[in-house]
Amino acid sequence: MMTHTPTRTLLALAVAVALTGAMVGCNSDDEQTQTTTKDDAYYLSQATGLLAQLSTSEKLDLLSGPNTYYGESPTNLVNDVSGVAGYINGILNDETGVHIPALKLADGPAGLRISSSRDGQSGTFYATAWPIGSLLASSWDTALQEEVGEAFGNEVKEYGVDILLAPGMNIQRNPLNGRNFEYYSEDPVLTGHTAAAMVNGIETNGVGTTIKHFFGNNSETNRSSINDIAEPRTWREIYLRGFQIAVTEAQPWALMTSYNKVNGSYVNERRDAVTSILRDEWGFNGLAMSDWFAGDVSNNAHKQVLSGQDLIEPGGVKAQLAAALEAGTLSQSDVDTAALHILTQVLKSPSYQGYAYSNNPDLNSHAALARRAGDESMVLLQNDNNALPIADSNTVATFGVNQIATYKGGTGSGDVNAAYTVNIADGLAERFTVNADLQSFYASYYEANKVYHTGNFGAAGYYTCDESSLSDELTSLITTAASADDVGVISIGRQAGEGADRSAEAGDYYLSDAELALIDQVSTLFKAQGKPVVVVLNVNGVIDTEQWKDKVDGILLAYMGGQETGRQVADLLSGDVNPSGKLAQTFPKSYDDIPSASTFPGEDTDGDGSPDDIYYNEGIYVGYRYFSSFDKAVSFPFGYGLSYTSFSYAGTAVGSNTLDSDGAKGSVTVTTTITNSGSVAGKEVAQVYVSAPEVKLKKPAIELKAYAKTASLDAGSSEQLSFEIPAYILASFSPDDNEWIIEPGTYQVYVSPSADVASTTPVTFSVAKEIVVSSTTAGALALPDGTSAADFITVSE
Ligand code: BGC
């Protein structure tokens, strides 16, 4: 049976702190005027004091948001913000004097998602569309991510929002997940550090963040009932690890549980996940909320509170919770614990503190930062014959409807109402002399052939437009361009988003016949004239490159750079900025090579035509962990990215190793010296992969444990990078012992420019005997009854 003890302890501690606070109030005036440190303990003590003044009904108002979708209004809403996704109810009680304004919660991961206009108010309320998560992660630059977070959070605050419903940080198990664009990577360490940097940056403004979707929400098909089945070790090492890192490094105000089930039950009803792992093991002390209308909320809302989740969104379940209290299926102490978690965060919020927001963030400086963030993140995948950068004097012929219909980001709650999007055609035209006939051909073609797709769940829709088949007009434009212009740039776009997954078909994961024909013809005609062709990928996630990459010289993976996408592409193609992004995902040779290809998006077990269960047959072998362990060649490896200069690595060494002496508190440090061995200034991302000894546990061939990016290095200059691998990051999960352990033996360390470590000589360190880094909750996340890993794990070393 599960125990409620840990959260009771928290409450008892809070009461003690509150009493201490009350006693301070009896001290002399001098002591009272001493500055109070407003840390977690302070807010907890204040919240505890407040909680004691609330009626049960008021507490339940906190636990259940107002379901505005069905006409409820938030209690004590002051200055509404149009377009927010939800609220935490306020309290207005003249008898007790408790006045708490409702809090406003808004999406999303690539920028604040609010309406750009408000009833009865003049002016616009545009927010900056930042590069999507997968692109920002490709910068591998936590300082930059934190800087973006700071500016992003300033918009949250200045537009009157209290808690941002982001960052999204699910693991990109399979490229077809429609929401991958919101997420960072296939790797949990890169995901965790990126999320922590965003949380830290955003929260410096005194607004909250919500890491989401905890956990296993790795596909959209049937997302509100799909059952994701994996071994506890797989959950912990791959899918929970990023959340653990974000909680450890950034302690976000809030966390959102996911829609899906895990090993048979909804995550939001799993006390082992929400209380034992999240709070007791990791020390999360923020508020946990549901995803919108998630789980069995219309029948069993109380089970979401029993799990240790505090807030149900959008809500409308107060009566149900009251009935559960009455029936005894929910206790007063469960309600108090949840209300305390919520109140503690409410007290920090701008609304509670009466912050007078300006509605006037500095959108110009944020646009400049958004441009720089994309510049530092886009990945140069191929540059044969030094086709890039394009010389200033060159004229550029631009192909593809995507140059007009450039996507700034994905769809659904991850969309942003930005003032503008600079498309690729305009971005290139600002920087180069472009072929105007081609650009106007594509603009007219797009206008005449675009197809509108309604957004899911009331979100904004979007357009697609099939590539022109090679009409006579286009063929003649290509022929003219091949002789008149110096370089061909072909843009390929892919849109996707919340509520649907992508397909492994031509036109989605694979290029369409028309796109392949365009690449073929442009390449043939340009190459016949000795002129280079470059493809720009304005995509929401991994697509096929293997089929066509040999036909072109250059490939720039732009992903979706936000509102400045077109300018970022021009910055990189021109060499005004030297590319320094590296892949946060593997680009495989074919979709079928992906270890989860055969199980995505799940199995239909009840014969209704849609999937019910997803078996994570690949276990911990996700992304490069699979390709490196099974020697499978890829199109472009994880961590890969080119520059217009080159770098050499020298003097890689293990600096210190305190694992044997300090155990769980120990760490290993590694250093390497990177030299710019080329002829222009540039930045390099160096990655530390560890190959661990196998005693009790099988391990992937390599795992990312640390990384760093150099400053901009002039040609010929060097920088020494140092990396720290703390014990908890090095550890593996031993399901038999319910422990995170570091196994004894020799560890190989590769400091490498990508996950292709074949040409890197490893250095080593050793661990004398097994180190138990932490003990975990026995039986947590166990496989469903009657299932064992042997039934479904098909991949093992
Ligand atoms: C999404 C969340 C989002 C929420 C509120 C849900 O459909 O899954 O990511 O924060 O809506 O808009």
Residues 411-432: tens digit of each pLDDT: 999 999 999 999 999 999 999 9
On whether the CB atoms of residues 203 and 209 are closer than 8 A, the answer is: yes
Atom of ligand 1 nearest to the CA of 413: 12
Pocket probe for ligand 1: among 183, 291, 457, the residue whose CB has the most ligand atoms within 8 Å is 291
Strand partners, 289: 256, 311
Cα 484–chain centre separation: 43
Q: What tens digit of pLDDT does each residue of 263-322 get? A: 999 999 999 999 999 999 999 999 999 999 999 999 999 999 999 999 999 999 999 999
Q: What tens digit of pLDDT does each residue of 344-372 get? A: 999 999 999 999 999 999 999 999 999 99
Strands 433-434 and 287-289 turn out to be unpaired
Closest Cα to atom 2 of ligand 1: 291
- Tell me the CA end-to-end span of the chain in Å, nearest whole number: 35
Cα 97–chain centre separation: 41
Non-local CB neighbours of 555 within 8 Å, separated by 6+ positions? 380, 381, 382, 534, 535, 536, 537, 545, 549
Is residue 179 within 6 Å of ligand 1 at its C-beta? no
Q: How far is the CA of 291 from the centre of ligand 1 (A)?
A: 6
Omega within 30 of 0 (cis) for the link into 389? yes
Q: How far is the CA of 457 from the centre of ligand 1 (A)?
A: 10
Instruction: Indicate the residue type of 667.
Output: S
Pocket probe for ligand 1: among 105, 221, 292, 311, the residue whose CB has the most ligand atoms within 8 Å is 292
Closest Cα to atom 4 of ligand 1: 292
Write out the residue limits of the CATH 2.60.40.10 domain(s) in the chain: 642-775
Strands 554-557 and 379-383 turn out to be antiparallel
Measured distance CA(630)–CA(700) in Å, rounded: 9
Helix (H, G, I), strand (E, B) or coil at 387: coil
Name the DSSP class of 213: E
Q: Which pLDDT value is given to residue 13?
A: 38
pLDDT at 29 over 70: no
- Which helix H or strand E contains 99, and what residues bound it? strand 98-100
Q: Which pLDDT value is given to residue 684?
A: 99
Atom of ligand 1 nearest to the CA of 457: 7
Closest Cα to atom 6 of ligand 1: 292
On whether the CB atoms of residues 379 and 137 are closer than 8 A, the answer is: no
Atom of ligand 1 nearest to the CA of 414: 9
Q: How many CB atoms lie within 10 A of CB 703?
A: 23
CATH superfamily for domain 11-353: Glycoside hydrolase, family 3, N-terminal domain (3.20.20.300)
Q: DSSP letter string over 134-160?
A: HHHHTT--HHHHHHHHHHHHHHHHHTT
Write out the residue limits of the CATH 3.20.20.300 domain(s) in the chain: 11-353
Closest Cα to atom 12 of ligand 1: 85
- How deeply is 718 buried, as exposed, middle or buried, from its count of CB atoms within 10 A (0-12, 13-18, 19+)? middle
Is residue 220 within 6 Å of ligand 1 at its C-beta? no
Measured distance CA(425)–CA(405) in Å, rounded: 9
Helix (H, G, I), strand (E, B) or coil at 44: helix
Q: Which pLDDT value is given to residue 358?
A: 98
Q: Which pLDDT value is given to residue 797?
A: 67
Measured distance CA(106)–CA(635) in Å, rounded: 38
Residue with tokens 């409807």: 401
Measured distance CA(78)–CA(209) in Å, rounded: 21
CATH superfamily for domain 642-775: Immunoglobulins (2.60.40.10)
Helix (H, G, I), strand (E, B) or coil at 190: helix
Is residue 212 within 6 Å of ligand 1 at its C-beta? yes
**For 328-414, where are the alpha helices, taking DSSP H only?**
332-346, 363-375
User: Which is more confidently placed, 704 or 23?
Assistant: 704
Q: What tens digit of pLDDT does each residue of 232-260 get? A: 999 999 999 999 999 999 999 999 999 99
35: pLDDT confidence band, cut at 50, 70 and 90? low
Measured distance CA(39)–CA(299) in Å, rounded: 38
Is residue 413 within 6 Å of ligand 1 at its C-beta? yes
Q: How far is the CA of 614 from the centre of ligand 1 (A)?
A: 22
Is residue 182 within 6 Å of ligand 1 at its C-beta? no
pLDDT at 1 over 80: no
Q: At what angle do helices 513-528 and 472-484 cross, to 10 degrees?
A: 30
Is residue 291 within 6 Å of ligand 1 at its C-beta? yes
Q: How far is the CA of 109 from the centre of ligand 1 (A)?
A: 10
What predicted TM-score, i.e. pTM, was given to this entire model?
A: 0.95
Is residue 292 within 6 Å of ligand 1 at its C-beta? yes
Sheet holding 739-742, edge to edge: 732-734, 739-742, 771-775
Q: What tens digit of pLDDT does each residue of 671-706 get? A: 999 999 999 999 999 999 999 999 999 999 999 999
Atom of ligand 1 nearest to the CA of 165: 10
Q: How far is the CA of 245 from the centre of ligand 1 (A)?
A: 22
Q: Decide if domain 378-577 falls under CATH 3.40.50.1700.
A: yes
3-state secondary structure 248-291: HHHCCCEEEECCCEECCEEHHHCHHHHHHHHHHHCCCCCEEECC
Q: How many CB atoms lie within 10 A of CB 603?
A: 13
Atom of ligand 1 nearest to the CA of 499: 7
Residue with tokens 């505890």: 48
Q: What tens digit of pLDDT does each residue of 88-107 get? A: 999 999 999 999 999 999 99
On whether the CB atoms of residues 463 and 507 are closer than 8 A, the answer is: no
Q: Which pLDDT value is given to residue 19?
A: 34
Q: What integer is the mean pLDDT of 634-657?
A: 98
Closest Cα to atom 7 of ligand 1: 292
Is residue 628 within 6 Å of ligand 1 at its C-beta? no
Measured distance CA(178)–CA(508) in Å, rounded: 11
Pocket probe for ligand 1: among 104, 165, 260, the residue whose CB has the most ligand atoms within 8 Å is 165
Atom of ligand 1 nearest to the CA of 259: 8
Half-sphere exposure of 779 (CA within 13 A, CB side): 7
Q: How far is the CA of 344 from the centre of ligand 1 (A)?
A: 23
Q: DSSP letter string over 54-69?
A: --HHHHHHHHB---GG
Q: Is 291 a catalytic residue?
A: yes
Atom of ligand 1 nearest to the CA of 108: 10
On whether the CB atoms of residues 731 and 740 are closer than 8 A, the answer is: yes
Hey, what are 352's tokens? 């509670």
Taking CB atoms within 8 Å and a gap of at least 24, the contacts of 88-97 are 88/62, 88/162, 88/163, 88/311, 88/342, 88/346, 89/61, 89/62, 89/64, 89/65, 89/315, 90/351, 91/54, 91/58, 91/61, 91/62, 93/55, 93/58, 96/53, 96/54
Percent of the chain with pLDDT over 90: 93
The C-alpha torsion from 366 through 371 and 376 to 380, rounded to 10°, is: 160
Omega within 30 of 0 (cis) for the link into 167? yes
Q: How far is the CA of 132 from the centre of ligand 1 (A)?
A: 16
Write out the residue limits of the CATH 3.40.50.1700 domain(s) in the chain: 378-577
Smallest CA-to-CA distance from 190 within 236, 226, 141 is with 141
Non-local CB neighbours of 149 within 8 Å, separated by 6+ positions? 197, 198, 199, 200, 201, 202, 203, 204
On whether the CB atoms of residues 706 and 777 are closer than 8 A, the answer is: no
Q: What tens digit of pLDDT does each residue of 198-220 get? A: 999 999 999 999 999 999 999 99
Name the DSSP class of 208: B
Given 107, 141, 272, 291, the catalytic residue: 291
pLDDT at 707 over 90: yes
Q: Which pLDDT value is given to residue 469?
A: 83
Hey, what are 755's tokens? 């996950």
Q: What tens digit of pLDDT does each residue of 527-551 get? A: 999 999 999 999 999 999 999 999 9
Measured distance CA(400)–CA(466) in Å, rounded: 10
Q: How far is the CA of 26 from the centre of ligand 1 (A)?
A: 46
Longest Cα–Cα distance of the chain, Å, equals 89
Is residue 105 within 6 Å of ligand 1 at its C-beta? no
Half-sphere exposure of 490 (CA within 13 A, CB side): 28
pLDDT at 116 over 50: yes
Measured distance CA(539)–CA(437) in Å, rounded: 25
Q: How far is the CA of 258 from the centre of ligand 1 (A)?
A: 9
Q: How far is the CA of 86 from the centre of ligand 1 (A)?
A: 10
Closest Cα to atom 11 of ligand 1: 292
Q: How far is the CA of 375 from the centre of ligand 1 (A)?
A: 29
Q: How many CB atoms lie within 10 A of CB 675?
A: 19
Measured distance CA(413)–CA(394) in Å, rounded: 41
Q: What is the mean pLDDT of the chain?
A: 94
Q: Where are any strands of DSSP class E within 616-775? A: 634-636, 647-657, 667-676, 685-691, 703-709, 718-726, 732-734, 739-742, 745-752, 763-767, 771-775
Closest Cα to atom 5 of ligand 1: 85
Measured distance CA(730)–CA(548) in Å, rounded: 39
- Which helix H or strand E contains 396, and what residues bound it? strand 395-399
Cα 155–chain centre separation: 19
Measured distance CA(212)–CA(25) in Å, rounded: 39
Is residue 462 within 6 Å of ligand 1 at its C-beta? no
Percent of the chain with pLDDT over 70: 95
Q: Which pLDDT value is given to residue 64?
A: 98
Smallest CA-to-CA distance from 88 within 108, 110, 60 is with 60
The C-alpha torsion from 288 through 292 and 294 to 300, rounded to 10°, is: 80
Q: DSSP letter string over 493-531?
A: E---BTT----SSBTTTBPPHHHHHHHHHHHHHHHHTT-
28: pLDDT confidence band, cut at 50, 70 and 90? very low
Atom of ligand 1 nearest to the CA of 314: 5
Q: How far is the CA of 292 from the centre of ligand 1 (A)?
A: 6
Pocket probe for ligand 1: among 68, 104, 105, 107, the residue whose CB has the most ligand atoms within 8 Å is 107
Non-local CB neighbours of 390 within 8 Å, separated by 6+ positions? 396, 432, 486, 487, 534, 573, 574, 575
Measured distance CA(531)–CA(483) in Å, rounded: 9
